[in-house]
Amino acid sequence: MREAGRIDALDAAPPAAPGANATAAKAAPAEIAAETPPAFDSLWRYTLATPFFQILLLVILVGNLFNGAVMEVAIPALAQGPLHTNAQGYGFILTGWGAGALAGALLASALGNRINRGLYSLLFFTLQVFAVSALAYATSALMAVGCMATFGLLNSLGNVSFLTLIQRKLPRNLLGRIMGVFTFCNFATLPLSVAVGGFATARFGASPVILGGAAIMLGAMMIAFASREIRTM
Protein backbone atom coordinates (compact mmCIF):
# COMPACT_ATOMS: atom_id res chain seq x y z
CA MET A 1 0.00 0.00 0.00
CA ARG A 2 1.30 3.45 -0.84
CA GLU A 3 1.76 6.13 1.80
CA ALA A 4 -0.16 9.40 1.34
CA GLY A 5 1.65 11.96 -0.75
CA ARG A 6 4.25 9.41 -1.97
CA ILE A 7 4.77 9.12 -5.72
CA ASP A 8 6.69 6.18 -7.08
CA ALA A 9 9.42 6.88 -9.60
CA LEU A 10 7.64 4.77 -12.17
CA ASP A 11 4.53 6.84 -11.71
CA ALA A 12 6.47 10.05 -12.20
CA ALA A 13 8.33 8.90 -15.31
CA PRO A 14 6.81 10.16 -18.55
CA PRO A 15 5.58 7.55 -21.00
CA ALA A 16 8.05 6.56 -23.70
CA ALA A 17 7.43 8.10 -27.06
CA PRO A 18 6.18 5.68 -29.70
CA GLY A 19 9.09 4.16 -31.63
CA ALA A 20 11.72 5.33 -29.14
CA ASN A 21 12.89 1.79 -28.36
CA ALA A 22 13.06 0.92 -32.03
CA THR A 23 15.09 4.05 -32.71
CA ALA A 24 17.52 3.21 -29.92
CA ALA A 25 17.86 -0.38 -31.17
CA LYS A 26 18.69 0.84 -34.66
CA ALA A 27 21.19 3.45 -33.52
CA ALA A 28 24.11 1.07 -32.98
CA PRO A 29 23.78 -0.74 -36.33
CA ALA A 30 23.47 2.63 -38.05
CA GLU A 31 26.70 3.81 -36.46
CA ILE A 32 28.45 0.57 -37.47
CA ALA A 33 27.15 0.88 -41.00
CA ALA A 34 28.46 4.44 -41.15
CA GLU A 35 31.92 3.22 -40.22
CA THR A 36 31.89 0.36 -42.77
CA PRO A 37 33.24 1.34 -46.19
CA PRO A 38 30.64 1.07 -48.94
CA ALA A 39 30.69 -2.13 -50.96
CA PHE A 40 31.60 -1.95 -54.63
CA ASP A 41 28.56 -2.20 -56.86
CA SER A 42 30.53 -2.69 -60.07
CA LEU A 43 33.12 -5.31 -60.93
CA TRP A 44 34.83 -2.81 -63.22
CA ARG A 45 35.21 -0.28 -60.39
CA TYR A 46 36.45 -2.97 -58.03
CA THR A 47 39.05 -4.14 -60.58
CA LEU A 48 40.33 -0.61 -61.17
CA ALA A 49 40.49 0.13 -57.44
CA THR A 50 42.15 -3.14 -56.41
CA PRO A 51 45.68 -3.71 -57.77
CA PHE A 52 46.06 -7.18 -56.28
CA PHE A 53 42.90 -8.32 -58.11
CA GLN A 54 44.42 -7.12 -61.38
CA ILE A 55 47.53 -9.17 -60.63
CA LEU A 56 45.33 -12.15 -59.79
CA LEU A 57 43.61 -11.98 -63.17
CA LEU A 58 46.97 -11.67 -64.93
CA VAL A 59 48.31 -14.72 -63.07
CA ILE A 60 45.27 -16.80 -64.06
CA LEU A 61 45.57 -15.74 -67.69
CA VAL A 62 49.30 -16.42 -67.91
CA GLY A 63 49.16 -19.58 -65.82
CA ASN A 64 46.52 -21.17 -68.02
CA LEU A 65 48.60 -20.67 -71.14
CA PHE A 66 50.25 -23.98 -70.29
CA ASN A 67 46.99 -25.85 -69.74
CA GLY A 68 45.89 -26.51 -73.31
CA ALA A 69 49.39 -27.04 -74.69
CA VAL A 70 50.39 -29.52 -71.98
CA MET A 71 47.17 -31.32 -71.06
CA GLU A 72 45.51 -31.44 -74.47
CA VAL A 73 48.49 -31.76 -76.82
CA ALA A 74 51.83 -32.61 -75.23
CA ILE A 75 50.74 -35.39 -72.84
CA PRO A 76 48.90 -37.40 -75.53
CA ALA A 77 51.94 -36.97 -77.78
CA LEU A 78 54.22 -38.08 -74.94
CA ALA A 79 52.13 -41.20 -74.35
CA GLN A 80 52.10 -42.16 -78.02
CA GLY A 81 55.72 -41.21 -78.75
CA PRO A 82 58.47 -41.54 -76.10
CA LEU A 83 56.40 -43.73 -73.76
CA HIS A 84 55.32 -46.04 -76.61
CA THR A 85 51.89 -46.64 -75.17
CA ASN A 86 48.40 -46.62 -76.69
CA ALA A 87 45.05 -45.12 -75.80
CA GLN A 88 44.79 -47.44 -72.81
CA GLY A 89 48.11 -46.17 -71.45
CA TYR A 90 47.02 -42.59 -71.96
CA GLY A 91 43.82 -43.42 -70.11
CA PHE A 92 45.85 -44.72 -67.17
CA ILE A 93 47.87 -41.50 -67.15
CA LEU A 94 44.69 -39.42 -66.93
CA THR A 95 43.36 -41.79 -64.26
CA GLY A 96 46.43 -40.98 -62.17
CA TRP A 97 45.65 -37.29 -62.50
CA GLY A 98 41.98 -37.83 -61.54
CA ALA A 99 42.84 -39.99 -58.54
CA GLY A 100 45.35 -37.40 -57.33
CA ALA A 101 42.81 -34.60 -57.74
CA LEU A 102 40.22 -36.55 -55.75
CA ALA A 103 42.72 -37.24 -52.98
CA GLY A 104 43.71 -33.56 -52.95
CA ALA A 105 40.10 -32.43 -52.56
CA LEU A 106 39.54 -34.82 -49.65
CA LEU A 107 42.81 -33.77 -48.02
CA ALA A 108 41.97 -30.08 -48.41
CA SER A 109 38.62 -30.71 -46.73
CA ALA A 110 40.34 -32.50 -43.84
CA LEU A 111 42.94 -29.75 -43.39
CA GLY A 112 40.27 -27.05 -43.36
CA ASN A 113 41.34 -23.64 -42.05
CA ARG A 114 44.96 -24.73 -41.70
CA ILE A 115 45.56 -24.09 -45.41
CA ASN A 116 43.27 -21.09 -45.87
CA ARG A 117 46.01 -18.61 -46.69
CA GLY A 118 47.07 -17.23 -50.03
CA LEU A 119 50.65 -18.31 -49.37
CA TYR A 120 49.62 -21.97 -49.10
CA SER A 121 47.70 -21.84 -52.36
CA LEU A 122 50.73 -20.37 -54.12
CA LEU A 123 52.98 -23.04 -52.64
CA PHE A 124 50.71 -25.83 -53.88
CA PHE A 125 50.56 -24.33 -57.36
CA THR A 126 54.33 -23.85 -57.40
CA LEU A 127 55.05 -27.43 -56.32
CA GLN A 128 52.79 -28.75 -59.08
CA VAL A 129 55.19 -27.15 -61.58
CA PHE A 130 57.89 -29.60 -60.50
CA ALA A 131 55.51 -32.56 -60.86
CA VAL A 132 54.74 -31.46 -64.43
CA SER A 133 58.45 -30.96 -65.13
CA ALA A 134 59.20 -34.49 -63.91
CA LEU A 135 56.60 -35.77 -66.38
CA ALA A 136 58.81 -34.57 -69.25
CA TYR A 137 61.51 -37.01 -68.10
CA ALA A 138 59.20 -40.00 -67.56
CA THR A 139 60.53 -43.16 -69.23
CA SER A 140 57.47 -45.34 -68.68
CA ALA A 141 53.72 -45.03 -68.39
CA LEU A 142 53.95 -45.94 -64.71
CA MET A 143 56.27 -43.01 -64.02
CA ALA A 144 53.92 -40.75 -65.95
CA VAL A 145 50.98 -41.96 -63.84
CA GLY A 146 52.92 -41.10 -60.67
CA CYS A 147 53.80 -37.63 -61.95
CA MET A 148 50.22 -36.92 -62.97
CA ALA A 149 48.86 -38.20 -59.64
CA THR A 150 51.19 -35.81 -57.80
CA PHE A 151 50.20 -32.99 -60.14
CA GLY A 152 46.49 -33.69 -59.56
CA LEU A 153 46.95 -33.81 -55.79
CA LEU A 154 48.77 -30.46 -55.61
CA ASN A 155 46.50 -28.81 -58.16
CA SER A 156 43.40 -29.83 -56.22
CA LEU A 157 44.86 -28.63 -52.91
CA GLY A 158 45.66 -25.29 -54.52
CA ASN A 159 42.28 -24.92 -56.17
CA VAL A 160 40.24 -25.75 -53.06
CA SER A 161 42.22 -23.43 -50.78
CA PHE A 162 42.26 -20.67 -53.41
CA LEU A 163 38.51 -20.79 -54.11
CA THR A 164 37.80 -20.81 -50.38
CA LEU A 165 39.85 -17.64 -50.02
CA ILE A 166 38.04 -16.02 -52.92
CA GLN A 167 34.66 -16.67 -51.31
CA ARG A 168 35.85 -15.32 -47.95
CA LYS A 169 37.93 -12.31 -48.92
CA LEU A 170 36.35 -10.79 -52.02
CA PRO A 171 33.10 -8.77 -52.00
CA ARG A 172 30.13 -11.08 -51.63
CA ASN A 173 27.89 -9.00 -53.87
CA LEU A 174 30.39 -9.45 -56.73
CA LEU A 175 31.21 -13.13 -56.27
CA GLY A 176 29.07 -14.33 -59.17
CA ARG A 177 30.67 -11.87 -61.59
CA ILE A 178 34.15 -12.56 -60.20
CA MET A 179 33.77 -16.31 -60.73
CA GLY A 180 32.52 -15.59 -64.25
CA VAL A 181 35.66 -13.56 -64.97
CA PHE A 182 37.85 -16.33 -63.55
CA THR A 183 36.14 -18.87 -65.81
CA PHE A 184 36.67 -16.57 -68.79
CA CYS A 185 40.36 -16.23 -67.91
CA ASN A 186 40.65 -20.01 -67.63
CA PHE A 187 39.41 -20.53 -71.18
CA ALA A 188 40.37 -17.29 -72.90
CA THR A 189 43.90 -18.47 -73.65
CA LEU A 190 42.91 -22.06 -74.49
CA PRO A 191 42.67 -21.63 -78.30
CA LEU A 192 46.05 -19.88 -78.42
CA SER A 193 47.60 -22.41 -76.06
CA VAL A 194 46.38 -25.42 -78.07
CA ALA A 195 47.42 -23.90 -81.39
CA VAL A 196 50.91 -22.98 -80.23
CA GLY A 197 51.23 -26.26 -78.35
CA GLY A 198 50.35 -28.27 -81.44
CA PHE A 199 52.88 -26.42 -83.58
CA ALA A 200 55.62 -26.65 -80.94
CA THR A 201 54.97 -30.34 -80.22
CA ALA A 202 55.19 -31.23 -83.90
CA ARG A 203 58.41 -29.26 -84.27
CA PHE A 204 60.25 -29.86 -80.98
CA GLY A 205 58.54 -32.83 -79.36
CA ALA A 206 56.35 -33.30 -76.29
CA SER A 207 58.98 -32.97 -73.55
CA PRO A 208 60.16 -29.43 -74.47
CA VAL A 209 56.53 -28.27 -74.63
CA ILE A 210 55.84 -29.71 -71.17
CA LEU A 211 58.93 -28.00 -69.79
CA GLY A 212 58.00 -24.74 -71.51
CA GLY A 213 54.49 -24.91 -70.06
CA ALA A 214 55.93 -25.57 -66.61
CA ALA A 215 58.22 -22.55 -66.98
CA ILE A 216 55.24 -20.34 -67.90
CA MET A 217 53.34 -21.59 -64.86
CA LEU A 218 56.35 -20.95 -62.63
CA GLY A 219 56.62 -17.41 -64.01
CA ALA A 220 52.96 -16.80 -63.18
CA MET A 221 53.56 -18.00 -59.62
CA MET A 222 56.52 -15.67 -59.23
CA ILE A 223 54.27 -12.76 -60.23
CA ALA A 224 51.76 -13.84 -57.58
CA PHE A 225 54.46 -14.25 -54.91
CA ALA A 226 55.54 -10.66 -55.57
CA SER A 227 52.12 -9.43 -54.42
CA ARG A 228 51.90 -9.12 -50.64
CA GLU A 229 48.10 -8.86 -50.80
CA ILE A 230 47.83 -12.23 -52.54
CA ARG A 231 50.29 -13.90 -50.15
CA THR A 232 48.37 -12.67 -47.10
CA MET A 233 44.82 -13.21 -48.37
pLDDT for position 157: 93
pLDDT for position 14: 47
pLDDT for position 39: 64
Q: Looking at the domain assignment, is residue 213 inside a domain? A: yes
Q: Looking at the domain assignment, is residue 43 inside a domain? A: no
Number of structural domains the chain divides into? 1
Q: Looking at the domain assignment, is residue 29 inside a domain? A: no
In angstroms, the first-to-last Cα distance of the chain is 67
pLDDT for position 76: 92
Q: Looking at the domain assignment, is residue 203 inside a domain? A: yes
Largest CA distance in the chain: 111
Q: Indicate the pTM of the whole model.
A: 0.76
pLDDT for position 12: 44
**CB neighbours of 207 closer than 8 A, spacing ≥ 6?**
74, 78, 82, 136, 137
CATH number (domain holding residue 197): 1.20.1250.20
Q: Looking at the domain assignment, is residue 190 inside a domain? A: yes
Return the half-sphere exposure (C-beta side, CA atoms, 13 A cut-off) of residue 128.
Answer: 29
Angle between helix 175-188 and 141-169 (nearest 10):
150
- Domain assignment of residue 148, given as a range: 51-231
pLDDT for position 31: 41
Q: Looking at the domain assignment, is residue 149 inside a domain? A: yes
pLDDT for position 105: 92
pLDDT, tens digit only, all 233 positions of the chain? 444 444 444 344 444 444 444 444 444 444 443 333 446 778 888 888 888 888 888 888 887 888 889 989 999 999 999 998 888 889 999 999 999 999 999 998 888 777 767 888 899 999 999 999 999 999 999 999 999 999 999 999 998 888 888 888 888 888 888 888 888 888 888 888 999 999 999 999 999 999 999 998 898 889 888 888 888 87
pLDDT for position 126: 93
Question: What three-state secondary structure class fits 98?
Answer: helix
Q: Looking at the domain assignment, is residue 15 inside a domain? A: no
Q: Looking at the domain assignment, is residue 42 inside a domain? A: no
